[in-house]
Amino acid sequence: MAKIEISGISKAYTKDVPVLKDLDLTIQSGEMFFLLGPSGCGKSTLLRILAGLVKPDAGIIRFDGEDVTEVPPEKRRAAMVFQNYALWPHLNLFENVAFGLRCLGVKGGELINKVMEALELVRLQDFAKRRPASLSGGQQQRVALARALAVDPPLLLLDEPLSNLDARLRDAMRVEIRRICRLRKLTALYVTHDRQEALSLADRAAVMDNGVIRQMGTPEMLYDFPADRFCAEFLGDVNLIPGRVEQRNLISALGNFNLSHPCRNGNAVGAIRPERLRILPENAPDVPCSFGATITDRTYLGESCLWRCRTALAEVEVRESAGPARKIGDRIRLSFDPEFLLVFPE
């Protein structure tokens, strides 16, 4: 494991079309760091630059303080796990995992020990003689992980590793990847466009858009206190309330709401996550942060229920853990804790 420092990295594959723009990022030793962003924002490019497979136009990469920007991939030894596993179909699992070690000159008993240890880590030690084609997608991805870990890399790079798996397997593999990273105290950079994956696994994450990092922080910070509207919408559902900020109030068609955080005066959009809205009776007395609404639709989700409500402004969504009986057409009040009203200048 190593501390990874990325400073001032820029990359354009074609002139005048920048893919990464002067990017700075530090990943602490042993940290599981996530890059979260829409398709095409430059995530894979940054991973390839870290692995040494793509040369940046500008900037410096350091592993534990050592400048590795010009170091070729095989000497950097950052291990990569891809979405499509990239296993060799004609080799059995043992040989797939052994490949990188052989390239490093490991042989004999040491080779056998390291391969079997890696296969044990992903719980596939009994499958060493099998070919990849005889395994499920999840098992193949575990082989790819074992192959990456066998060489004891300073940095593990994961590029959307679970995208090809179905939802149930994805959940199981998430837990597995986290267990292995913690056990081995790995420094890992994990790229995904799936916010659930990032929020559930990351020590810290960065939200990327169009070659720049918009915000960096813990999952809780990113979700509850997004830096801008893009981050708010990328990390989860939000209800938007257009309006205007004056003297620390959001003036909107739903009412005037006192802001708990300072915000500059002018046009702005308020944002509240659906689970931060509470449903009260229509005639609830004197609730400061609240507005009237009518229930128009219900989506039952088992552990929670999603209510769509008509307001003076637009439809809003409210997520409520399963509970009270309500019906379409009910008149209600929706209230919120001012701390969770986010406001972004427009």
DSSP 3-state assignment of 260?
A: coil
Which option in ligand ADP, Mg ion, none does residue 19 bind, with CB closer than 5 to 8 A by kind? ligand ADP
The bridge status of strand 278-281 relative to strand 331-335 is antiparallel
Give the shortest CB-235-to-ligand ADP separation in angstroms.
Answer: 16
Q: Is 44 in the site for Mg ion (CB under 5 A)?
A: yes
Nearer to Mg ion, 19 or 199 (CB): 19
Strand partners, 305: 300, 320
Nearer to ligand ADP, 12 or 240 (CB): 12
Q: Is 140 in the site for ligand ADP (CB under 6 A)?
A: no
Q: Is 235 in the site for ligand ADP (CB under 6 A)?
A: no
Give the shortest CB-214-to-ligand ADP separation in angstroms.
Answer: 14
In contact, 29 and 22? CB cutoff 8 Å = no
Nearer to Mg ion, 56 or 243 (CB): 56
User: Which stretch, 38-46, 62-70, 270-278, 307-315, contacts Mg ion (CB under 5 A)?
Assistant: 38-46
Strand arrangement, sheet containing 342-345: 255-258, 249-252, 239-246, 266-272, 342-345
Q: Of residues 30-89, which lie at the interface with ligand ADP (CB under 6 A)?
A: 37, 39-45
Q: Pick from 162, 144, 16, 25: which is nearest to 83 by CA?
A: 162
Please report, for residues 181, 192, 219, 276, 308, the alpha-carbon distance to residue 43 in angstroms, rounded to integers and kept in the order given.
20, 8, 18, 31, 35
Q: Is 19 in the site for ligand ADP (CB under 6 A)?
A: yes
Q: Look up tokens 């009994």; give the residue.
A: 126
Cα distance between residue 54 and residue 311, in whole Å? 51
Q: Look up tokens 């991805």; give the residue.
A: 141
Nearer to ligand ADP, 187 or 192 (CB): 192
Residues that bind Mg ion (rule: CB under 5 A) add up to a total of 1
Which option in ligand ADP, Mg ion, none does residue 45 bind, with CB closer than 5 to 8 A by kind? ligand ADP
Q: Residues interacting with ligand ADP, by CB under 6 A? A: 13, 19, 37, 39-45
**Interface with Mg ion by CB under 5 A: which residues?**
44
